[in-house]
Structure 1
Amino acid sequence: MRGSSSGSVSANEAAIILGGKRAEPTSAELIRRSAQRGAPSGDAESSSEPSAASFKDYGVNPFVTAQEDRLSTFAVDVDTASYTLTRRILMSGSLPPREAVRVEEMLNYFRYTYPEPTPSDGPFAVHLDAAPSPFTQGRHLLRVGVQGKRLSLAERKPAHLTFLVDVSGSMQSPDRLPLAKRALRMLVDNLRDGDTVALVTYAGAVRRVLPPTGMERKALIHAAIEDLTASGSTAMGSGIALAYEEAMKTLDGTSTSRVIILSDGDANVGKTSHEEILKAIRGFVKEGITLTTVGFGMSNYKDTMMEQLANQGNGNNFYVDSLMAARRVFQEQLGGTLEVIAQDVKIQVEFDPKQVTRYRLIGYENRAIADQSFRDDRVDAGELGSGHTVTALYELELEPDAGEGLATVRVRAKKPRGTTASERAYRFHASALAKTFKAAPADLRFATAVMGAAELFRRSPHAEAWSLEAVQEMARAATPAGNAEREEFLALLAQARPLMRSVAAR
């Protein structure tokens, strides 16, 4: 992390982020301080971090003519890694690589006030609304929102967790293994009686540090975490095999079993190819063991590896750059991180071609599912955790007098460890179509701002005429006083503006 003259977070602020004794500022305050010092000189589009960081470009969804294809099908995604990565890169004084920005993960980072499911809804409820687009005259935006049921602490099943920690030499810096250790201690402190923790590490070799250990021996777990040190190369594939071996020891039908990988995603010894490592975990998914990946570091961060591991392991992908981010994942959203309430969740939106001329799904490029696979229960899809929300936005070109029934949303999902999915349909009602963007619900307006920023950051061809200034205005108008999460986003947009102007000027 560079010094304060460069426009990145200062050493004192870094100490606060990593858990120093000074009072912890909000992310928005850190972003404002960084912006006040000014962005670094040079090519604004070139990342300040070495180019060894790895991202995959999934492209940008095109418009589809509803008359030719009225169905849009995708798997839900509750990952949030892309937002945290984008935030960190912007705070360092650079624009993110376009392939690092996944619109759905930006959208799903934020909390929206969807009504809770009723008993008749089952594990989740679906909510639809729409409004004229503030970006392109003559177009509309449709929001599809899914709200998962929030389970109480008493309802949560016992959790058997296996921590797989990368202790290779690349994890030495303060924002990697030291931060990962603090995050793990936080997670352990939020577990309860009946939960267990196993600990496996990998570097040039793998090591079983702790067998499954109950919370009555919490001090032993903390001590084992504290003793972790980084050195050597990275045998990720062997580490994954041993972690699942430990997870199998506590696998039963009445508890949650999850492997949690904490790494920068690098794998340079042993089974290093993506396919070899992904293949190693597919069989365990059928056994009922889920996988969460938590990324750390930046200079050689392998985003693609961490995202695909989570996708194949039926779990979530997060990125942690601070104790604030760790607290969000391992404390505030612990229920959703640990407890799956629905699996293989697929969404299919059917547009009425008499009312919708063209549409495009904004984001979810790497979550697309063939329309004919929607009712094929063998096809893997996304998982929904306790209290999780999923938000998707469509850009539409409507026929005159569109409204009632312009879209029907079908959601198909299995119960945890189930084999057969059930399906429910939700019809769009004309009353959910706002006459103007300003008249739309604040949550829809804020989600539109987040989507707009993501489209600009990834240099989407659909956003060539959009402006970050307009995004700022709509985000500000949809941010109630005291909403720290949205205030952070506003500060991030302020940090990004001079960087965007610098690129536009070239």
Structure 2
Amino acid sequence: MKKINILIPILVLISLIGSGSKEPEMLKGTVVNASHLKPIEGVMISVKSESQLAVTNKNGHFSIRRPASGATIEFKLGGYRTQRVRYEGQQRLDIKLNQGFKGLETKNVANLLESAARIQPHRTMIIRQPSSPTESYASFAENKFVRPQLNPLSTFGMDVDAASYSNVRRFINQGQLPPADAVRVEEMINYFDYDYPAPTNGQPFSIHTELSIAPWNTEHRLLRIGLQAKEIEAAKIPSSNLVLLIDVSGSMNAYNKLPLVKSSLKMLVNQLRPSDRVAIVSYAGAANIALEPTSGKNKQVILDAINALQAGGSTAGGAGIKLAYDLAASRFIKNGNNRVIMATDGDFNTGQSSDMDMQKLIEEKRKSGIFLSVLGFGMGNYKDSKMELLADKGNGNYAYIDNISEGRKVLVTEFGGTLYTLAKDVKLQLEFNPSKVQAYRLIGYENRSLNAEDFNNDLKDAGDLGSGHSVTALYEIIPHGVKSRFIGSVDELKYQTDKPSGSTFADELASISLRYKAPNSDVSRLIKKTVANTSQPLRTSSDNFRFAAAVAGYGMLLKRSEFVPGFTFAMVAELASQAMSKDEEGFKSEFVRLVRASSLLAEDLLTVTKN
């Protein structure tokens, strides 16, 4: 009996050790369309009581840790009715989602939109959009048409931020249209890869242009300017000195905040090399070092530090920023990649917290040669205006991560571009030929506008581009001879002529000048290119052109822009559907789905107003 008594606790101990080492049991399943049973990609699956979330892949498959019996599992995607299922211990869940909102079906709404376009070709749809009183977005007016005689130069800082698109997607997937100020059209456009040819002859950039018809106004022309940065192989990227600055305040205690931050950053850790170093600074009521600088070869140490983070307390964002920059500076790598990566909802409420405080702080810190990446998470109290400001002023980029797929896109697929700056203070300046252009307007980039003299001023901050990044800008042009309500009149000038000139350059539409600095330089370099006055029909334009135009039109519809009279969501979806020759990741297909979901969400579909 004594032997048995000795063996029993040993066996129990072995059993406990064995059970502790088991992988968590997983609940798997597939989500399909209820009408045609095809798999649905991008469905968000959440167990909110356990802060769990997952997203279906392109085959409709998902996998989550088995929740407690009685928990509610939610399946949500814009354009589909949300479904909630009570978990009763099943090993597998196969879900069928029904399309539509408020009893409307996709086909019926599309027909209504198309009928409205035929009946009212010169009117525009009004969309009532919900307010988001606890979320903050910078407000700005759209660029207007200007005459080249009075405004010969258009100057702005180019940027590849794409946070607006994924944030808009979050609103649509939650079953509502975004606030107009949440829509930055240039960020919508630059979310997508346009597959521009890589630069040659040792140049860091290649510039590509195309001129065709503006889909929303066939009397106008649309000029696309595509900039492609050289891609540096991951193995050749300089060693990185990274500080992960993670918001662990109470406001981050939500399933799509700190848990999603952790899951996203773990994917980043898996990309690190032994030569890279990572530190972690967390902040709530105060800032502290959660992990001293650690080599990328010690991945488990870094992962354990991330797993240990818990949310609670107020938000001392300013203190966190200071500590993160100081820590990065203490291990600064000359000619290396020195960067702070901030993950937050932007809701600072302790210490320095105003947008102006943050701007002053970050402008001072960027002089250190340390770059900044801002990753936004969550909803409800989301402070987009603050985070965009931090990235813009901190020589960095800004992404919004609404699901784990977006985390993978930003931190794995676009790893080099997100973490390694190829060029800083990238500025573009166009001079339009007044003999060919009656008026022009830059679509988007309103908060990146520069004065003409800023172009040659190397002290003026501008946008930043990472390895392999592409960036696109669109100009809408009114040719001579086209009557337009968008062009105001001015009295005849007394001291200078306002007559069109430029006949010497009859074959040129515009001249492009590009300035940029190497990451470790304070002196800019100049590239120039001429745009030929050669337009082609929209049907023969490139897929790049038509898809970018579709995204621009969608963004302007969401903003209720005055510049897209008669354009509809149905027209956007049709234009984009015909321009998806390369869509390996499925992002363009998802865009078409979002456009169609937006038409379902639009209130008062046939409410119109005269121009």
**TM-score, structure 2 normalization:** 0.77
Q: Give the Cα–Cα distance (whole angstroms) in 2 for the partners of residues 190 and 502 of structure 1.
A: 48
Compared CA separation, residues 449 and 343, structure 1 to 2 (3 A): same
Q: 2:473 aligns with which of 364, 369, 392?
A: 392
Q: Is the 8 A contact 1:203 1:231 kept in 2?
A: yes
What whole-Å deviation, never above 9, does each CA across 1:362-415 have from its counterpart, x for those lacking one? 000000000111101010001110000110000001237997311111000111
Match of 2:100 in 1: 38
- Provide the secondary structure at the position in 2 that maps to 1:142: strand
Q: Is the 8 A contact 1:18 1:175 kept in 2?
A: no
Larger mean Cα displacement after TM superposition, 399-408 or 171-180: 399-408
Q: 1:87 aligns with which of 169, 174, 196?
A: 169
Aligned-pair distance for 1:287? 1.8
- Provide the secondary structure at the position in 1 that maps to 2:580: coil
What whole-Å deviation, never above 9, does each CA across 1:454-506 have from its counterpart, x for those lacking one? 00001111123321111111111112375511100010011001222535538
1:494 aligns with 2:596: yes
1:176 aligns with 2:214: no
Match of 2:576 in 1: 475
1:216 aligns with 2:297: yes
- Provide the secondary structure at the position in 2 that maps to 1:451: helix
What whole-Å deviation, never above 9, does each CA across 1:318-337 have from its counterpart, x for those lacking one? 00011100000000000001
Q: Give the Cα–Cα distance (whole angstroms) in 2 for the partners of residues 403 and 246 of structure 1.
A: 57
Aligned-pair distance for 1:24? 4.0
What whole-Å deviation, never above 9, does each CA across 1:420-443 have from its counterpart, x for those lacking one? 10111110124xx34311111111
Aligned-pair distance for 1:221? 0.6
Amino acid at match of 1:52: T
Match of 1:336 in 2: 417
Q: Is the 8 A contact 1:403 1:429 kept in 2?
A: no
Q: 1:317 aligns with which of 384, 395, 398?
A: 398
Q: 2:238 aligns with which of 157, 180, 194?
A: 157
Compared CA separation, residues 199 and 504, structure 1 to 2 (3 A): farther
1:53 aligns with 2:146: no
Aligned-pair distance for 1:153? 1.8
Match of 2:191 in 1: 109
1:270 aligns with 2:332: no
Amino acid at match of 1:93: G
- Which residues of 2 match residues 237-276 of structure 1 at below 5 A? 237-276=318-357
Aligned-pair distance for 1:309? 0.3
Q: Give the Cα–Cα distance (whole angstroms) in 1 for the partners of residues 160 and 102 of structure 2.
A: 33
Q: 1:405 aligns with which of 508, 511, 514?
A: 508
- Provide the secondary structure at the position in 2 that maps to 1:446: helix
Compared CA separation, residues 104 and 482, structure 1 to 2 (3 A): closer
- Provide the secondary structure at the position in 2 that maps to 1:461: coil
Compared CA separation, residues 490 and 261, structure 1 to 2 (3 A): same
Q: Is the 8 A contact 1:18 1:322 kept in 2?
A: no
Amino acid at match of 1:415: A
Aligned-pair distance for 1:279? 1.4
- Provide the secondary structure at the position in 1 that maps to 2:279: strand
Match of 1:4 in 2: none
- Provide the secondary structure at the position in 2 that maps to 1:137: strand
- Provide the secondary structure at the position in 2 that maps to 1:284: helix
Match of 1:462 in 2: 563
Q: Give the Cα–Cα distance (whole angstroms) in 2 for the partners of residues 161 and 172 of structure 1.
A: 25
Match of 2:387 in 1: 306
Q: Give the Cα–Cα distance (whole angstroms) in 2 for the partners of residues 417 and 399 of structure 1.
A: 45
Aligned-pair distance for 1:248? 0.4
Larger mean Cα displacement after TM superposition, 246-255 or 288-297: 246-255
1:16 aligns with 2:118: no
- Provide the secondary structure at the position in 2 that maps to 1:495: helix
Q: Is the 8 A contact 1:131 1:434 kept in 2?
A: yes
Match of 1:71 in 2: 153
Amino acid at match of 1:500: A
Q: Give the Cα–Cα distance (whole angstroms) in 2 for the partners of residues 485 and 403 of structure 1.
A: 40
Amino acid at match of 2:100: G
Structure number, greater radius of gyration? 2
- Provide the secondary structure at the position in 2 that maps to 1:96: coil
Amino acid at match of 1:39: F
Larger mean Cα displacement after TM superposition, 477-486 or 299-308: 477-486
Match of 2:542 in 1: 441
Compared CA separation, residues 18 and 246, structure 1 to 2 (3 A): farther
Q: Is the 8 A contact 1:163 1:200 kept in 2?
A: yes
Q: Is the 8 A contact 1:16 1:24 kept in 2?
A: yes
Aligned-pair distance for 1:31? 4.3
Q: Is the 8 A contact 1:18 1:174 kept in 2?
A: no
Higher helix share: 1
Match of 1:3 in 2: none
Q: Is the 8 A contact 1:434 1:440 kept in 2?
A: no
Q: Is the 8 A contact 1:45 1:94 kept in 2?
A: no
Aligned-pair distance for 1:250? 1.6
Q: Name the % identity.
A: 39
- Provide the secondary structure at the position in 1 that maps to 2:299: helix
Q: Give the Cα–Cα distance (whole angstroms) in 2 for the partners of residues 150 and 171 of structure 1.
A: 35
Match of 2:221 in 1: 140
What whole-Å deviation, never above 9, does each CA across 1:239-262 have from its counterpart, x for those lacking one? 111011111012132211100110
Match of 1:365 in 2: 446
Q: Is the 8 A contact 2:388 2:398 kept in 1?
A: yes
Compared CA separation, residues 218 and 403, structure 1 to 2 (3 A): farther
What whole-Å deviation, never above 9, does each CA across 1:311-366 have from its counterpart, x for those lacking one? 01000000001110000000000000111111100000110001111000000000
Amino acid at match of 2:589: E
Amino acid at match of 1:442: D
- Provide the secondary structure at the position in 2 that maps to 1:126: strand
- Provide the secondary structure at the position in 1 that maps to 2:563: helix
Aligned-pair distance for 1:46? 4.5
Q: Give the Cα–Cα distance (whole angstroms) in 2 for the partners of residues 10 and 181 of structure 1.
A: 17
Q: Give the Cα–Cα distance (whole angstroms) in 1 for the partners of residues 187 and 408 of structure 2.
A: 18
What whole-Å deviation, never above 9, does each CA across 1:251-304 have from its counterpart, x for those lacking one? 132211100110000011111111112212222212210001100001110000
Compared CA separation, residues 100 and 482, structure 1 to 2 (3 A): closer
CA RMSD in angstroms, aligned pairs only: 2.4
Match of 1:99 in 2: 181
Q: Give the Cα–Cα distance (whole angstroms) in 2 for the partners of residues 89 and 437 of structure 1.
A: 31
Amino acid at match of 2:601: L
Q: Is the 8 A contact 1:18 1:179 kept in 2?
A: no
Q: Give the Cα–Cα distance (whole angstroms) in 2 for the partners of residues 340 and 189 of structure 1.
A: 20
What whole-Å deviation, never above 9, does each CA across 1:155-187 have from its counterpart, x for those lacking one? 200111101100011100110000001111110
Q: Give the Cα–Cα distance (whole angstroms) in 2 for the partners of residues 502 and 159 of structure 1.
A: 52
Amino acid at match of 1:205: A
Aligned-pair distance for 1:17? 2.7
